[in-house]
Chain A
Amino acid sequence: MTDARDNAFNSFLKDMTDNIGKFQKGADVLAGIRDEDVDVGATPKTLVLRRDKVELFRYEPTAERTVETPVLIVYGLIGRYTMADLQADRSLVRSLLGKGIDLWLIDWGQPGRAERWLTIDDYVDDYIHEAVHRICRETGHDKVTLLGICEGGVFTSCYAALHPEKVKNLVVTITPIDFHADVDDPAAHHGFLNIWTRSLAPEDVDRMVDALGVIPGEFMSSIFSLMTPMRSLTKYNVDLIDIVGDRDRMMNFLRMEKWLADRPDHPGAAGRQWLKELYQENRLVEGKFELSGRVVDLKSITVPVLNIFALDDHIIPPTCSKALGKKVGSTDYTEIPLPGGHVGLFVSSKSQGALTKSIAEWLQARDK
């Protein structure tokens, strides 16, 4: 009779041999891929306006228009917009274009030390405001729909509150509004960013900005890695075994890596506001957040609002996003919780369809 441990050992050896074979095949696959093949943010678009490092693009239509009001995508300053256009079959941008939406995009570019003095005031009241003006001029509309993602959702919410005359609808996705609501989220792996930022003194944030001029992209990357500790430790080894020999899955992985690596520095002054005034002091939800000398009153948002969040978002806990519902003045408020995580909501093949459908149908119903 064979000893159980012998069987286990034989099984392990067989697996190991198989895996060595997979990695060899994977090496061949990798050798055939060049960096330029890993194309993210590839949906065709035209540059309409450049202001400092900020660029406004208009996407080329791919279907007959079903929503007349132009939609402006506003991403945050942490990471790049390419998350919304990672690859052809996992692209919110492509899917919305396919639904007949006139889509525009603000790309913040690559802020560096030269942008250390830019504040959220500048982003909301200058860059977004000018982009909206330009879109109105180009399209003949007097209002646009804003689609904010993450920190961009905070920017667009502030804009909608301060410039209601320019906003037709507000769509926010994975957006923090109540920065202290993570305490109501029971999941232990949710809300590290909130806990860690609150564990610092306000002077620590000042020290960082004073010393570095920015909140470095590499620093944010390391913080994000720490939030998913085992995933970060296994993604380049154990987790690769299953995908390394499959070119398509490998390309998906590499596109994601390219997006993760493309993390610009967060302008210092805006970083102070983001971490101190919002994450630490929670001023937005308390009605004490000021931009350009004006208090951002979320009750001033009276346009239709669509709030989409991910149920397993470990970066922006769902409770932080849901808080918007009780704060806006709008009587037309819709909340759509979707399965998935912060990034998965945009790049997972499962959630893609639901996300696009939710947004497109909601917009079509309000485009009168």
Chain B
Amino acid sequence: MTVDDQPEFSQMLLRMTDMWRTNMEQAGEVGKMFSSSMMPFLTTRAADSSLFAAAQGGEISEAIKRMVEGPRLADMWNLDRQVYALMAAWMEVRQRMAAYHAVASVPWNRAYERYSASAGETKDAAAADFDWRKAFSAWSAIANEEMIRNQRSEEFLTAQRELLRAALELRTRQQEMADSIGKLFGTPTQQDFDELTKQVTELRRELRTNIRAQRDAATTPSAKQSGNEP
């Protein structure tokens, strides 16, 4: 059976698997693979004239997203789907990170320009009294001002929000994977733990509300008068 004989979903999956296998062979290890194949791709996109081009995603992440969002099968590919969802989320984080860094780098350039301009005005006599602490302090004040201005900008707020969303999506996918693996080995999942603590918190709340109500009833003047005080 060849790749082309498979249904569309499987074809994509097989092509992706093949591509990743080839990359793995070429690069030798996952980390190396990422830095050699993904990082130049991301860096190029991040350096595009459109600042947020990096966040638009490329062919690879789009293919993975299509696989993740494809129709769900009852008895197969569910773990695989989670793996690809995790990969897609990881790629998204890298892209959002690149976009964030691009925005965060803007004030450094502005600070450099402003400081250069002010340093250029320094007279020879002042240069003779050069003090690196004073110079650093002046540069630091300019850089701080520029960074603060940048951190209030719409571009920064957008990049920060998108990065946070991507990071949380990745964390959610990681948790799903961890829970699936936990289930395989019969260990309690994070969801089980959360359910348990929720029940404990609610039970404790209910119990304490009752105890407080009894105490308050016992200490109210009317209760004392009627001889209900313990």
Contacts and interface: CB of A to CB of B under 8 A. Distances in A.
Interface of A: 4-5, 7-8, 11-12, 15, 52, 113-118, 122, 126, 129, 188-189, 192, 195-196, 199-201, 204, 207-208, 210-213, 226, 229-231, 234, 238
A7 B152 contact: no
A126 B141 CA distance: 47
Closest 9 CB pairs of A and B: A8-B130, A230-B144, A199-B157, A117-B201, A4-B128, A229-B147, A4-B127, A211-B171, A207-B168
Contacts of A122: 201, 205
11 contacts: A113-B194, A115-B197, A188-B149, A195-B157, A199-B160, A204-B168, A207-B165, A208-B164, A212-B168, A226-B151, A230-B140
B175 interface: yes
A103 B187 CA distance: 47
Nearest to B164: A204
B205 A4 contact: no
Contact of B161 (A118, A199, A226): A199
A230 B201 contact: no
B107 to A, nearest CB: 9
Interface string B132-174: 1100100011011101110110000110110011001101100
Interface of B: 124-125, 127-128, 130-133, 136, 140-141, 143-145, 147-149, 151-152, 157-158, 160-161, 164-165, 168-169, 171-172, 175, 190, 193-194, 197-198, 201-202, 204-205, 208, 212
Given A211-B175, A230-B144, A116 B194 contact: yes
Contacts of B151: 192, 226, 229
Contacts of A189: 148
**What's the dominant secondary structure at chain B's contact region?**
helix
Contacts of B205: 122, 126
Nearest to B124: A4
Contacts of B198: 117
A204 B212 CA distance: 36
Interface of A is mostly: helix
B143 A12 contact: no
B124 A230 contact: no
A15 B134 CA distance: 12
Contact of B147 (A114, A200, A230): A230
A4 B125 contact: yes
Contacts of A200: 161, 164
B132 A15 contact: yes
A15 B158 CA distance: 43
A5 B143 contact: no
Contacts of B172: 207, 210-211
Given A116-B194, A211-B175, A7 B130 contact: yes
Contact of B136 (A5, A117, A231, A238): A238
A229 B148 CA distance: 8
Contact of A204 (B144, B161, B193): B161
A113 B140 contact: no
Contacts of A213: 190, 194
Given A192-B152, A196-B157, 19 more contacts: A4-B124, A4-B125, A4-B128, A5-B127, A7-B128, A113-B193, A116-B197, A117-B198, A117-B201, A118-B201, A126-B208, A129-B212, A195-B152, A204-B164, A204-B168, A207-B172, A211-B171, A230-B140, A234-B140
Contacts of B140: 230, 234, 238
B161 A15 contact: no
Contacts of A126: 205, 208
Contacts of B164: 200, 204, 208
